[in-house]
Amino acid sequence: MNEEEYERLARTQAIKGQASENAARDSQMQYMLEEKEKGLAEEQLDVEVIIDNIYNLLKGKEFKEVDGVKKWVQPKDKSRTLSDWGIHRIMQTVRFHINKNNLLSNYKEEQINRLMLRFTNELNDLVLLKYEKLFQMPTFEECKEILEKKLEEKSKLRKFVLEKLGQEVDEEEIKKEFLEEIEHRIEDEIDNIKQKEMKEKLKEYGLILEELEAAVYATYNRAWKGEERGSLRRHSHFSEIFSPNAPQPKQRGGIFNWRRG
């Protein structure tokens, strides 16, 4: 083998090596692109974050920073509006409407309106028929605390009046008088407190319903005329165009695109 043949063989091996290296690099880039596309699609269709936020809001939690980390926490000074059963029942309805299947559906406007009407009717019927189970009934300890605060306020008011009249004030005697007044109707007082607290919680239902409606409507709106599926297809098509393995259009006339007559 002469020198010229050696050079030709070396060039051939170099070209093969470069082609192999390019193929490996393109394959790796294609894999990374596909994984990124898969991750974006999964993130786009992931509704668990939405559902988790709804669940924590129904639990009455607040999203705040604790020790440098933002998380859901239960306030110490706020009683829960909904019972465990109520939260579970509402979440069943929420999951029926907020899910991947609905996101990838193809709904017309009238269909979305009908589904939203069904959703609100379901929740309204639930409140109408089972509000005693749906909302968290105040415990005896909570009612007792409220009653004690009520007696405390009355005692302060009586003390203020006696002081203004220039009469002697005995706080313990004042509290004793109020307790004697309600001694035979403690049970009624506790029941009245329960009913009052329940009415206050019922007033929050309108806000809860509005928040749930907004979340469900946003889901159906993403599926309006198959927009979510279309978005995924457009993203996939974009990735294919810029894929390193995508076929490139052939040029005529060399790198300067000269046309031969």
DSSP string, the chain: --HHHHHHHHHHHHHHHHHHHHHHHHHHHHHHHHHHHHHHHHHHH--HHHHHHHHHHHTT-EEEEETTEEEEE--TT---SB-HHHHHHHHHHHHHHSSHHHHTS-B-HHHHHHHHHHHHHHHHHHHHHHHHHHB-PPPHHHHHHHHHHHHHHHHHHHHHHHHHTT----HHHHHHHHHHHHGGGHHHHHHHHHHHHHHHHHTTHHHHHHHHHHHHHHHHHHTBTTHHHHHHHHHHHHHHHT-TTSPPPPPSSTTTTPPP-
The residue whose two tokens read 């009046």 is 161
Residue 160: give the domain boundaries: 45-241
In a domain, 257, yes or no: no
Parallel/antiparallel/unpaired status of strands 69-73 and 62-66: antiparallel
The total number of residues shown for the chain amounts to: 261
User: Is residue 260 included in any domain, yes or no?
Assistant: no
Per-residue pLDDT of the chain (261 residues; tens, 9 = 90+): 566 665 665 566 666 666 666 665 655 555 454 544 444 556 666 888 889 999 999 998 888 888 888 888 888 766 788 999 999 999 999 998 998 888 888 889 999 999 999 999 988 898 889 888 999 888 888 888 888 888 888 788 877 877 777 777 777 777 777 777 777 787 888 888 888 888 888 888 888 899 999 999 998 988 887 776 656 555 454 444 444 454 544 444 443 343 434
Largest CA distance in the chain: 128
What's the total number of domains in the chain?
1
Structure-token match 């993130």, residue found:
43
- In the structure encoding, which two tokens stand for residue 160, read together? 């203020």
The pLDDT assigned to 11 comes to 66
pTM for the predicted model, two decimal places: 0.63
Please report whether residue 196 resides in a domain: yes
On whether residue 255 sits in a domain, the answer given is no
Burial 119-133 (b: 16+ CB within 10 A, else e): beeebeebeeeeeee
* Any domain includes 33: no
Distance, in Å, from the CA atom of 119 to the CA atom of 217, rounded to the nearest integer, reads 10
Q: Is 246 a member of any domain?
A: no
User: For residue 39, what are its two tokens?
Assistant: 């991750």
Q: Is residue 251 part of a domain?
A: no
The verdict on residue 170 lying in a domain is: yes
Q: Choose among 12, 17, 131: nearest CA to 83.
A: 131
CA distance 128 to 130: 6
